[in-house]
Amino acid sequence: MDVLRNCKNFIVEWIGAVSLAAGAAAVGYLAYKTLLSKDKSCKAMVNLHIQKDNPKVVHAFDMEDLGDKAVYCRCWRSKKFPLCDGAHTKHNEETGDNVGPLIIKRKEA
Ligand code: FES
């Protein structure tokens, strides 16, 4: 009878230990996926719709062509990208973000 009881206690303890180890492994895996994983599919994209068929969106301008002032979009929501059209205001209101344009202007002499 004692042998049977000891065997039963061993099985219950073993199941408890395995459950604890599995729970710890699950928590560790979730922490890894959340904090350390380099999986890019879980990260948000900045560029949602501009030239998505290109591997990299690049614009270049000659300084002489900028005029007295140029305002460039940094939120990637402008319909006139790479120029700012004010879409950053709506983006900031909807997301709590704080992005704004890059303004390049000629120094007043
Ligand atoms: S519209 Fe993007 S910074 Fe203004």
Q: Are 72 and 83 in contact (CB under 8 A)?
A: yes
Q: Is the pLDDT of residue 34 over 70?
A: no
- Between the CA of 64 and the centroid of ligand 1 the distance, in Å, is 23
Mutate to test the pocket of ligand 1, among 48, 72, 88 (most ligand atoms within 8 A of CB): 88
Contact 77, 51 (CB under 8 A): no
- Predicted structure pTM score: 0.61
In this predicted model, what pLDDT tens digit does every residue of 35-62 receive, in sequence order? 666 555 557 899 999 999 999 999 999 9
Q: Is the CB of 50 under 6 A from ligand 1?
A: no
